[in-house]
Copies of this chain bind each other. A is one copy, B any other.
Amino acid sequence: MKIGILISGRGSNMVALVDAAQRGQIPDSEAVVVISDKPSAAGLETARERGVETVVVERTGQTREEHDAGIISELKRRDVELVCLAGYMRLLSSDFIQAFPNRIVNIHPSLLPLFPGLDAQRQALEHGVKITGCTVHFVDEGLDSGKIIMQRAVKVLDDDTVESLSVRILEQEHELYVQAVRTLVTSRTEPIRK
């Protein structure tokens, strides 16, 4: 399974997926390209250090559709079969979703459908929930609204800050994302597998 990963920043979940594929924890798979919409994304260097090709596709002056077409082209010509978002900060166009039907996944730091969008950890603390977590889900055109694949719960501690909670959720994200992608790859059922 050829995996393409989209980032906008540090991409720590990208690193988790790349490392897992390289160690064989995601069998018969390779992260073939890491694409960022931002040239400054720190994850680009981290990916190159791991021998993964990187591409920057900037949005500047383009519509979402034009920008997505550029990314789709980079993915398609490397025969990418599974697209993993890892801190990619843009909604995908309908064209993008249709180009990879049920083959785009994302991870989000809450138990969706609760607390979608930005600052999910802050939303959880402000609401006063005692349990939050992370969710791997298929991507559709909505904001963190696609079908849920896997979730993991994380306890909120009485003295948690946004930072401390985010760190504990992120540790679980790295494990859960690898577990979910491994399941998608090994199940090899249509429409995941071409």
The residue on B at minimum CB distance from A112 is B129
Of the residues B111, B148, B152, contact of A128 by C-beta under 8 Å:
B148
B153 touches A129 (CB 8 A): no
Q: Mark A114-156, 1 if CB is under 8 A from B, else 0.
A: 1000000000000111110101000000000001111111000
The residue on B at minimum CB distance from A132 is B111
B127 touches A151 (CB 8 A): no
A130 touches B114 (CB 8 A): no
Of the residues B127, B130, B131, B148, contact of A129 by C-beta under 8 Å:
B148
19 more A-B residue pairs beyond the given contacts A111-B129, A128-B147, with a C-beta to C-beta distance below 8 A: A111-B111, A111-B114, A111-B131, A112-B129, A113-B114, A113-B127, A113-B129, A114-B114, A127-B148, A128-B148, A129-B148, A130-B135, A130-B148, A130-B149, A130-B150, A131-B133, A131-B151, A131-B152, A131-B153
- Those 3 A-B pairs whose CB atoms lie nearest each other, nearest first: A153-B153, A130-B151, A131-B151
Per the bound structure, the CA–CA distance linking A181 and B128 in Å amounts to: 18
Return 15 A-B CB contacts under 8 Å, by A number. A111-B111, A111-B114, A111-B131, A112-B129, A113-B127, A113-B129, A114-B114, A127-B148, A129-B148, A130-B148, A130-B150, A130-B151, A131-B152, A131-B153, A133-B153
**Closest CB in chain B relative to A138 CB, distance in Å:** 10
